[in-house]
């Protein structure tokens, strides 16, 4: 199945057209910086490291759209990059680890988002919020670490 994807005509075109592949890489990098950056900024605010005196909710609302547009674009471009070597990626453990971390990271980001209005109303940031924000930072930065380890450990990428 994955070899079939890798051998599809549009995928081989993508894999052999350098400017096109480069374009998808640019989108992937830019989108993931946007996604992870805005998430980490919100988490830092929840942790009270960043601008504690300023209200939480408006910042969360301002960042939210860019987080998910970034995430969506990173997923689409990431899938395209994955497709060019699908057969190899599915066989290596670091790639599995990266996917697992991303799933957990998305869950933590959603949990933070759903809870922000509640935490904002409560005034003081509860311990669960601190914990969730910390988990979210570790997972999102962990996803990037897993990503850079794929070429280092497997030669793919």
Which residues contact another protein by CB under 8 A? 18, 21-22, 25-26, 29-30, 32-34, 36-41, 44, 50-51, 54, 57-59, 61-66, 141, 144-145, 148-149, 151-152, 157
Question: What is the crossing angle of helices 93-122 and 18-47, to 10°?
Answer: 40
Give the nearest distance from C-beta 1 to another protein in angstroms: 28
Which residue's CB is nearer to another protein, number 2 or number 27?
Answer: 27
Give the nearest distance from C-beta 62 to another protein in angstroms: 5
Give the nearest distance from C-beta 4 to another protein in angstroms: 26
Sign of CA dihedral 19, 86, 89, 144: positive
Which residue's CB is nearer to another protein, number 12 or number 17?
Answer: 17
Is there a contact between 99 and 85 (Cβ–Cβ < 8 Å)? no
CA dist 137 → 33, 45, 105 (Å): 13, 12, 8
Which residue's CB is nearer to another protein, number 11 or number 63?
Answer: 63
Give the nearest distance from C-beta 8 to another protein in angstroms: 22
Is there a contact between 141 and 35 (Cβ–Cβ < 8 Å)? no
Is there a contact between 80 and 14 (Cβ–Cβ < 8 Å)? yes
Which residue's CB is nearer to another protein, number 39 or number 83?
Answer: 39
Please enumerate in sequence order all residues whose Cβ is within 8 A of that of 18, keeping only pairs 6 or more positions apart, or say none: none
Q: For residues 31 and 68, give the distance between their C-alpha atoms in angstroms, rounded to a whole number.
A: 9
Which residue's CB is nearer to another protein, number 6 or number 38?
Answer: 38
Give the nearest distance from C-beta 119 to another protein in angstroms: 16
């Amino acid at each position: 199945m994955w070899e079939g994807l890798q051998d599809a005509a549009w995928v081989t075109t993508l894999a052999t057209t350098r400017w096109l592949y480069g374009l998808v890489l640019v989108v992937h990098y830019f989108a993931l910086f946007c996604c992870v950056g805005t998430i980490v900024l919100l988490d830092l605010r929840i942790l009270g490291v960043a601008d504690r005196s300023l209200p939480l909710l408006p910042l969360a609302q301002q960042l939210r759209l860019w987080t998910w547009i970034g995430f969506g674009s990173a997923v689409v471009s990431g899938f395209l990059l994955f497709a060019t070597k699908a057969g190899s990626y599915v066989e290596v453990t670091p790639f599995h680890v990266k996917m697992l971390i991303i799933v957990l990271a998305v869950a933590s980001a959603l949990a933070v988002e759903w809870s922000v209005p509640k935490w904002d109303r409560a005034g003081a940031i509860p311990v669960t919020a601190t914990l969730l924000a910390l988990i979210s930072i570790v997972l999102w930065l962990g996803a990037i670490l897993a990503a850079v380890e794929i070429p280092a450990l497997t030669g793919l990428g």
